[in-house]
Amino acid sequence: MLRKASSSVSFIGVLAAFSLACLLGISGCQGPIVPNQNTLNPFPQVHLTSSNLQSEILVNEPIVSRVGDGQLDVVIPVRNVTAYELYLEFQYTFLNAQGAHAQETSGWNTLRVPAYSMAQIHFTSLTPAANFDCTIRRLP
């Protein structure tokens, strides 16, 4: 009887070791590693200057269109998720196809966003541009 107990214990040990080896072997064959996505700021053209601001506003997907002779028209919806009014500043620049500045960076513009409301940042390039960058900060 003692022998049966020890042989069943050793069988369970071998089974556990085999299962562990299989799991480790399978976990190593998952393909390429995908880099982490920035879920706090999924739109790479829009930059928030502080982590506090990330908990106070939500930036929706920018709406980009062509107007006139190919100028870039950009609308960025911003939602205030706090119980108090926010005063923000934003500045923007337009980029060419190589990522270099196509125009000078704008000055700081003010945006008032009432409590639990939405506002829009809106700007248009003077000349055709390929992309844009926009930085948002709280009014100091």
pLDDT digits (tens, 9 = 90+) for 77-104: 999 999 999 999 999 999 999 999 999 9
β-strand pairing of 46-48 with 131-138:
parallel
Q: Write down the pLDDT at residue 1.
A: 46
Query: What average pLDDT does the segment 34-56 reach?
Result: 76
Query: What average pLDDT does the segment 23-48 reach?
Result: 62
- Exposed / middle / buried, residue 56 (Cβ in 10 Å: 0-12, 13-18, 19+): middle
- The closest alpha carbon to 105, from 78, 77, 120, 126, belongs to 126
Element (H, E) at 11: helix 2-27
Q: Which domains can be identified in the chain, with CATH numbers?
A: 46-138 (2.60.40.3230)
This prediction's pTM: 0.70
Confidence class for position 10, pLDDT limits 50, 70, 90:
low
Residue type, position 21, single letter:
A
